[in-house]
Amino acid sequence: MPGYFPKGRGWPKIAKSTPGLIRATVYKHLHRYMPAMNQAIISQLQTLDFKDGECKIGCFDLAYSIVARSGSFALVGSRLSQNEEYLKAAKDHILGMIVTTRVQFLVPDCLKPYIGGLIGRLATLGTSWDMHASRKIMLRHFDARAAEYHAKIFTGNGSSETNLNGTDNPVEIFQWLYESSVLRERWTYAEVIGEMLLLQFAFIYTTSYGLYGALVELARRPEYISPLREEIDLIFSEMGPTVPACDGMVLMDSFLKECQRLNPPSALSAHRVCISDLKLSNGITLKQGSHVAVPSGVIQRSSEHYANPDAFDGFRFVKRAAAGAKNSRLVDLSPDYLVFGMGAHACPGRWMASALMKLVFAHILVQYDILLPNSASAPLTGSLSFEEFYVPNFGLKIALRQR
């Protein structure tokens, strides 16, 4: 995230290690996280309040609560992922971060060092998105968890760092970062916490936004419900919440990919900063320090790459695959689909995000009928969306009716 770190100091060392950690945990050993993630989804759905068999809920709120609970299992472990106070603080903090950065965009660069922090603080003060208040609560939980890790290291019960490959237990991302900090002095505790806060955003917000968009599209397009249910009956109901079951649901995969193609979380992708002058193949030289990004939103709606690009075709990518096209799965990267970025820094969490969204879709489709009770044509993006970044329309509601 260029611009999020102090000028001239570049990425903190810890941020360079995290993508590798994500690959070594929730990518390589995704199967280890599946049972608990699945259970977290079931638990969150059980909290829904049904009256006469129907529950009306903010669509983003539904997606956000499910992803926060199941994602927190991988980030901070089983106990904290069931702690309501922690989950609320994590969700409020992420939205607080978004509002704060949105508001800070409006402050002229020359004034940012002086009043940027204050303006950001005022923007959320007194709301449930007060970043500072929620951060305090979260830090209390982080500190308590870190003390448990510490005790474990020094009472000789072993550390997770050594069992990335060794046991069947899923590794807690926070535990690994903390142990690395203590045992190898690679980074400070403050850096570990900073990285956790960024990771919560990278994991929970983005996946929630993808799931939210897909749920709205599904509610608006009931014709997809029956084929998706048939696939779930055939695969998910047979194989259970497993990685092969998620890989096998190709109609769902295509539907989710089409949703993300049309409703990405951002209009730009693959941000890079040139660390030295860079001559491109077309002769243009990008000067050292230039910030470049790819206009993914435009590319994903371009007729150069997609037939009838503005039309929603939930099975577009299965048809492409059947016609022999490569890179048609949700997690595949290609220059015409940049939701997860491109190249060496492409999102390492995309397999986890894909599996999580599929598990949620399977549970919701099996248990409920889905309706959009208000504003069937209201925009998916809300009023806080500006510059490249899209923020959900928090007013959009979804209704789940027990089948």
Please, what is the minimum distance in Å from the beta carbon of residue 19 to ligand HEM? 4
Stretch that binds ligand HEM, among 51-59, 214-222, 268-276, 313-321 (CB under 6 A): 268-276
**CA 23 to each of CA 162, 168, 195, 332, 349: distance values in angstroms, whole numbers, following the listed order:** 16, 16, 16, 15, 7
What DSSP letter does each residue of 198-256 carry, written as one string? HHHIIIIIHHHHHHHHHHHHHHH-GGGHHHHHHHIIIIIHHH-S-HHHHHH-HHHHHHH
The number of residues that bind ligand HEM (CB under 6 A) is 26
Look up residue 249 and give its two tokens.
């649901």
Q: Known binder of ligand: residue 246?
A: no
Please, what is the minimum distance in Å from the beta carbon of residue 56 to ligand HEM? 25
Please, what is the minimum distance in Å from the beta carbon of residue 370 to ligand HEM? 20
Interface map 129-168 toward ligand HEM (x if CB under 6 A): ----------------------------------------
297 touches ligand HEM by CB under 6 A: no
**CA 126 to each of CA 80, 93, 120, 133, 325: distance values in angstroms, whole numbers, following the listed order:** 25, 13, 12, 9, 52
Close Cβ partners of 2 (under 8 Å, ≥ 6 residues apart): 271, 272, 273, 291
Please, what is the minimum distance in Å from the beta carbon of residue 199 to ligand HEM? 6
Stretch that binds ligand HEM, among 114-122, 148-156, 273-281, 344-352 (CB under 6 A): 344-352
- Which member of 79, 221, 345, 403 binds ligand HEM (CB under 6 A)? 345
Cβ proximity to ligand HEM: between 120 and 205 the closer is: 205
Q: Distance between CA atoms of 398 and 380, rounded to whole angstroms?
A: 12
Stretch that binds ligand HEM, among 38-46, 117-125, 212-220, 342-350 (CB under 6 A): 342-350
Q: Distance between CA atoms of 200 and 103, rounded to whole angstroms?
A: 20
**Footprint of ligand HEM on residues 6-35 (CB under 6 A)?**
18-19, 22, 26
Question: What is the SS3 assignment for 368?
Answer: strand
Q: Quote the distance between the C-alpha of residue 52 and its chain's center.
A: 33
270 touches ligand HEM by CB under 6 A: yes
- Which member of 340, 361, 368, 390 binds ligand HEM (CB under 6 A)? 340
What DSSP letter does each residue of 322-359 carry, written as one string? HTT-SS-STT--BTTB-TT--GGGS-TTHHHHHHHHHH
Query: Is there a contact between 217 and 38 (Cβ–Cβ < 8 Å)?
Result: no
380 touches ligand HEM by CB under 6 A: no
**Footprint of ligand HEM on residues 56-95 (CB under 6 A)?**
none
346 touches ligand HEM by CB under 6 A: yes
Stretch that binds ligand HEM, among 103-111, 247-255, 265-273, 284-292 (CB under 6 A): 265-273
**CA 64 to each of CA 262, 266, 315, 360, 386: distance values in angstroms, whole numbers, following the listed order:** 20, 17, 25, 11, 21
Q: Distance between CA atoms of 17 and 59, rounded to whole angstroms?
A: 34
- Which member of 12, 116, 265, 392 binds ligand HEM (CB under 6 A)? 265
Query: Which residues are documented as binding site for heme?
Result: 347
Task: Give the binding site for ligand HEM (CB under 6 A).
Answer: 18-19, 22, 26, 202-203, 206-207, 210, 265, 269-271, 339-343, 345-350, 352-353
